[in-house]
Structure 1
Amino acid sequence: MAQLTAMGTYHSLLELRGISFIDDIEVGSYNNVDQQITIKTPWISKALVADYMTQRLHLALEHERHFRWVIQFLSKNDTNHNRNYTGQLLADCEIDNDIKIKSRIHLIWEGEEYYRIDEEVGQWENLKPEVKTYQYILDSPFWTNLRKRYMSEYCVDLLRKIVRYSSLRDNVAPEVTVSHHVNPEGRIILSCTATGFYPRSILLQWEKNGELGVWGKETSSGILPNMDSTFYLRLTLELSSEDSGTGYTCVVEHTELKTPAVYPVPEKPTVEKPRVLTVGIVLAVILLMSCAGAFIAWNKRKSCMTCI
């Protein structure tokens, strides 16, 4: 999905920001201030050749001109030409095994969706009756051809390039660690972390004595990308103070595991290394201060003996 947000007045475009997502993960961004495309996921840069990135930059500059015209057109009847306006374009497409499943565009003005279109249907849907008079612009040959070209080249084709490249890498099973902590309030915190896995799809669940259920307050990090194009997920379970925390396991399902893998929770709380390190530092400081104090006291006694 691509999200473009433009802010400006009748006279000028003040800012244009673009963000690209794949499976809800931000992979790239653009800002008209520095006029550079930033790729957030390193391996995607390898999937896109330099010429393609140059084309994307030229496209972003085209977007600036188009948004400048749109803001000027929609604000022309406003008596205050210095007022700031915000326009947004959301475009998303989905493919499955290299076949396009869907492709949609949403047009938003001042936080309200005015129009949207499903490319498979090919007809703009008006969501704001008072601006329906503008539909002839969207239906004009210029904007229709522009829309189709952009969605084909920079949504569907871009996604295909990335997916084809990602399919070249080997699948990797997750590395799983399970920990058992006690928070300051005395509640037991169980954590199950899976990292280094590919492809992205994975399922982590808690079982107690072999049964799935809701055993406490669950929180999830969400599936996040690692720098090497693999993924990371952490699932945390906070138990009530009455629960002893025994009998729990983390069940992990991933294509590379073939069958669900079961990881038992350690019976004893996991040692908090940062806390041990802090205690060690404190003890070291106390020992150092004690030695310094003893040295000062000895030095004073020595001075007194010299005076005598």
Structure 2
Amino acid sequence: MGIQAAYHKHVIQFIIVGTENSLFDYFIVDFLDDVQVLSYDKHTQLLKAKEDWVIQTLGAKFIAKTQQKLLDHEKRFLWFLKKLMLNETKHDGPVFMSLCYLLTFSLPPPVNHTVQIFAFCEIESDSHIRNEIQIAVDGHEFSVLDGEMGIWIALMPEARSFLPILTSTLWTTQREHYMQEYCIDTMKKILQHSVIKKNVPPEVTVSQYETEDGITTLSCSATGFYPRSILLHWQNGKNIIMAGKQSSSGVLPNADSTFYQRITIELLPEDTGTDYDCVVDHIELGPPKAYPIQVKYPKKRSWTVTITILSVVILVLSCTASFIVWKKMKTGVYMEIQEI
């Protein structure tokens, strides 16, 4: 159950918007352990870093070389869009194209396409463990490469015509060089020279809820932690809980570049939910730490308590008012007797 303290992930996201004739938008966002470190925009043609030390770490020569390569990529992406449009035209069928020609219809305006490329690599204890490339077109999965197997899989009919190019020796050599230099080596260089973000321990909240139908649910949330590697599990005494209906949110990013995770479990009807702990394993906590449950009563009980308190308050106020009225009446009678 040990956490992956030496695990790191580098993700490079390419987003291209254009037609077969031109690229309207082309930008790149670079994430290391889900924290943005670099970005590139077609309009500025500059590779920018979130922190100045990242540029200093990578060096001016590397930055200039990378900017030139990203500029050269525009021609490749434009070629991709042209070939994509050609494939779509073929799928329209020769009959349709012949009719367009015979009736002298004007050609339709160019169609915008959005291409997304996700290239990522992972290392653990400074050793490369995995890499993958995913391509999507207009929000649909186009093709994917399993880096370990070296196999491209076409996920759309239009992707099949690209397979001979993607699997060619030239493209394979260039792709492997790119992933090594710009994904793995860049990640290692940044990690060796500085940390992306100061480590922060998680804030843990553990609670128990009972619904109106008697189902007991345990909830454990950890938030505000960095790095993202964390393990949460339920424990009763020394036994790790495996039974019951369990669910997890997965590790999700917060706005401040920290992370969040929540796990819940619905207990079996015969389980009273006593002596449960949420065990959290994070590098900043040292040894795994157990957090006991803080019981929260359901809303129905809360309303019952509220109504009871209001009833008591109203009763006290009524008694006080009655006492004041009685006192005034008694005082008035006493004054009348004195006047007589």
TM-score category of the 2 structures, normalised to the smaller one: 0.5 to 0.7
**TM-score for the superposition, normalised by structure 2:** 0.56
Q: CA deviation at 1:262?
A: 1.7
- Choose which of 193, 210, 219 in structure 1 pairs with 2:248: 219
What residue in structure 1 maps to residue 100 of structure 2? none
- Choose which of 187, 191, 197 in structure 2 pairs with 1:159: 187
Would the alpha carbon gap of residues 222 and 169 (structure 1) be closer, same or farther in structure 2, given more than 3 Å must change?
closer
Q: CA deviation at 1:149?
A: 4.8
Which SS does the other structure have where 2:72 is aligned? helix
- The farther-off stretch of 1-10 and 179-188 is 179-188
- Choose which of 70, 77, 89 in structure 1 pairs with 2:117: 89
1:141-152 matches, within 5 Å, as 146-152=174-180
Would the alpha carbon gap of residues 243 and 87 (structure 1) be closer, same or farther in structure 2, given more than 3 Å must change?
same
- The farther-off stretch of 147-156 and 62-71 is 147-156
Note the alpha carbon deviations across 1:133-189, whole angstroms, 9 max, x for none.
873587475x56753553233211221133324569876654433234567887655
What residue in structure 1 maps to residue 290 of structure 2? 262
Q: Which has the higher contact order (CA 8 A, sep 6+)?
A: 2
What residue in structure 2 maps to residue 10 of structure 1? 20
Would the alpha carbon gap of residues 137 and 246 (structure 1) be closer, same or farther in structure 2, given more than 3 Å must change?
closer
Q: CA deviation at 1:86?
A: 4.7
Mapped pair 1:249 → 2:277: yes
Structure 1: how far apart are the matches of 2:52 and 2:26?
Answer: 22
Task: Tell which structure's C-alpha radius of gyration is larger.
Answer: 2
- Choose which of 24, 28, 36 in structure 2 pairs with 1:27: 36
Would the alpha carbon gap of residues 115 and 233 (structure 1) be closer, same or farther in structure 2, given more than 3 Å must change?
closer
Structure 2, unaligned stretches of length 5 or more? 1-10, 90-96, 98-107, 311-340
Mapped pair 1:191 → 2:215: no
Contact 2:218 2:266 survives alignment (8 Å): yes
Question: % of aligned pairs identical?
Answer: 33
Structure 2: how far apart are the matches of 1:84 and 1:233?
Answer: 38
Q: CA deviation at 1:252?
A: 1.8
| CA RMSD of superposed structures (Å) | 4.8
Q: CA deviation at 1:67?
A: 0.6
What residue in structure 2 maps to residue 67 of structure 1? 77
Would the alpha carbon gap of residues 216 and 33 (structure 1) be closer, same or farther in structure 2, given more than 3 Å must change?
farther
Would the alpha carbon gap of residues 33 and 260 (structure 1) be closer, same or farther in structure 2, given more than 3 Å must change?
same
Contact 1:114 1:126 survives alignment (8 Å): yes
Which SS does the other structure have where 1:89 is aligned? strand
Note the alpha carbon deviations across 1:3-40, whole angstroms, 9 max, x for none.
324343222224435444545x363666657877787x
Note the alpha carbon deviations across 1:67-120, whole angstroms, 9 max, x for none.
1122124434736562344544332222233333444445566746457474x7
Mapped pair 1:202 → 2:230: yes
**TM-score for the superposition, normalised by structure 1:** 0.61
Would the alpha carbon gap of residues 104 and 17 (structure 1) be closer, same or farther in structure 2, given more than 3 Å must change?
same
